[in-house]
Amino acid sequence: MPRNSLLATQAAWLERYRLELRILEQGRVGSVGDGIVWIEGLPSAAIEEVLSLEDGSRALVFDLSKERLGGILLTTTAQLTAGTVAHLSGQRLSLPVGDPLIGRVINPLGDPLDGQPPPECPSRRELFAPSPPIVARDFVHRPLYTGSKVVDTLIPIAKGQRQLIIGDNGVGKRAFALDTVINQRGKDVRCVYALIGQKRSSVVNTMETLRAYGAMDYTTIVAAEATALPGLKYLAPFAGCAIAEEWMWQGKDTLVVYDDLTTHAQTYRELSLLLRRPPGREAYSGDIFFLHSRLLERSTCLASKLGGGSMSALPIVETTQGEIATYIPTNLISITDGQIYFDARLYSAGVVPAIDVTKSVSRIGGKGQHPRIKEQAGRMKLDYLQFLELEVFTRFGARLEASMEAKIKRGRVLRELLKQDRLSPLPIEFQMAWLIGFNRGLFDDTPPGHIGQWLQRIATKLSDSSLTLDNRDDQWIEAVTSWLKEGSAT
């Protein structure tokens, strides 16, 4: 530092200095292990206050009792042992936020994990900020397009909505979440992907996938690997939420993926048991519901007078053998605005994405759809559910009326139309095209094995056209009909 600047800094410090009695609390580490530290002393400590330890470690106050306090370690050194001096910092946990985080991979404390210099962010935000009050919120009404034919037409999601992604391991939940993030390219939506307790290979694979599709240009990855301290895995979703929340209050639309909250709940159970909190159902602490509600309630759509920003949330939860009535899934179902259920049986049968329409719902419904898409989708979900019920009778060889046979045939065509490969999100104009083609019966005589080719032709022709959702129905019908006729002629 130049001499003049140093002198100016010292002079400013001397001007602010006041001679007075100062009382400093000091505690000592009683024991440490498994990511937990017990500290004796510090009677003025508050829950979720950051503690500074003499060896350079940091901890977060997690449990208070008369004799001592329990903290979860945020950073640790090899010198941390019993007897280490601890001090109160008087600060709550925060991390840097802002545009410099776009395209970066960081841990829940804001430290870089991608080998690049630390991001120089203009501001910081608390991880445990309160959710926006009711008067600051607006009705959820703008669509958030996922690029999935099933979701965008039958289970629509809106900006500011909390839509749960639920299902067994390995049935396509993460692929759907990545598709949704990739589909936000060019839509001015900032994305945050929070990886909680995932293997390093999963973190690298997620980063490389998003980078390959150009999604890292508007995405931040917050990663707490499986080998990280339990405290960091506990903080990961709150860090991702804080990053997106900063953009939301700036009037921008954001999307946060929490992958996954089952691991997060298990980490919280581990920390609670280590800190000797009374266990409840399935050994989870009694405040497990509050843990996830305080996180997901921060996702909303702000009123226009506050900028009109939004934060949409896609929490992922894992089930075992398709059982959705267990403790954590039912908690999250009650907190969120709907769920998208991935069925292992559908996945095994080759139906991809393996979304079970009978168990999936969006409580926002048509309010989150474009009026033209809502009009074309109409009763499609109800008709599809009726088809699934009718199809059961065909397995027993029952004879059906001609009208029922026609419904089954049409339902099977719709099932083929809804199939979609992973990492292939589709624009909303494509959804409009195939909806019109289906509603007009243009696919009724098409063999199921050829539907994929027809859809590919529509996608190619649509990319070369100037059709938008604002075009009239007759223009859409004429275009789709001509594309299919050209394909049949060739």
CA 70/CA 51 separation, integer angstroms: 11
Residue 363 is among the residues annotated as catalytic for this protein: yes
Distances from the Cα of 135 to the Cα of 158, 297, 301, 366, angstroms: 20, 14, 11, 24
Question: Taking a C-beta distance cutoff of 8 angstroms, is the pair 301, 137 a contact?
Answer: yes
Query: What is the b/e burial string over 29-59, where b = at least 16 CB atoms within 10 angstroms of the residue's CB?
Result: bbebeebbbbbebbeebeeebbbbbeeebbb
Count the neighbouring beta carbons within 10 Å of the beta carbon of residue 121. 17
Strand partners, 384: none
* Residue whose C-alpha is closest to residue 294's, from 253, 261, 341: 261
Choosing from 185, 294, 363, 410, the catalytic residue is: 363
Query: How many CA within 13 A on the CB side of residue 431?
Result: 24
Question: Taking a C-beta distance cutoff of 8 angstroms, is the pair 160, 124 a contact?
Answer: no
CA 368/CA 383 separation, integer angstroms: 20
Maximum separation of any 2 CA atoms in the chain, in Å: 96
Question: Taking a C-beta distance cutoff of 8 angstroms, is the pair 2, 11 a contact?
Answer: no
Q: Are strands 189-198 and 361-362 parallel, antiparallel or unpaired?
A: unpaired
Query: So which residues are the catalytic ones?
Result: 363
